[in-house]
Amino acid sequence: MFALVVRFDLHDEARAAEFDLLVEETGRGIAEHEPGTLVYATHRVTDAPLARVFYEVYRDREAFDAHECQPHTRHFLAERDKYVKTTRVEFMTPATAKGLPADG
């Protein structure tokens, strides 16, 4: 398994709303075209209305690399800087978990 958490801090409420639409569009592409993406969960942060956190789990590094090459992902990556003030990415190795494949 291959996992990461990404935090996006957005510029303002108007751009946050536009970012959320971009995320929705991207999520549809992921659901329809990425069998190797096991979890792609996006979250709003309580008490931080301009923050978004993504939790992503892939079957393996190759599935993540395939995700990065998809047209919907490339579109997201090309557009996100219009909305995002800062980004923080943390790559992780899943350990104990409920709901993730045990063979990771």
**Structural domain includes residue 98:** no
List Cβ neighbours of 63 (8 Å cut-off, separation of 6 or more): 2, 34, 36, 37
Which amino acid, residue 52? R
Residue 94 vs residue 29, higher pLDDT:
29
Q: Which pTM was predicted?
A: 0.91
pLDDT tens digits for range 39-56:
999 999 999 999 999 999
**Structural domain includes residue 101:** no
Q: Which domain holds residue 7?
A: 2-92
**Structural domain includes residue 100:** no
Q: How far apart are CA 104 and CA 36, in angstroms?
A: 13
Report the residue count for the chain. 104
Structure tokens at 93: 């190795």
Mean pLDDT of all residues in 65-82:
98
Structure tokens at 58: 């892939």
pLDDT score at 98: 84
Our count of domains for the chain comes to 1
Q: How far apart are CA 12 and CA 30, in angstroms?
A: 26
Residue 103 vs residue 60, higher pLDDT:
60
Q: Is the pLDDT of residue 101 over 80?
A: no
**Structural domain includes residue 17:** yes
pLDDT tens digits for range 1-48:
999 999 999 999 999 999 999 999 999 999 999 999 999 999 999 999
Q: How far apart are CA 87 and CA 39, in angstroms?
A: 20
**Structural domain includes residue 40:** yes
Residue 15, domain CATH: 3.30.70.100
Sole residue written with tokens 């291959």: 2
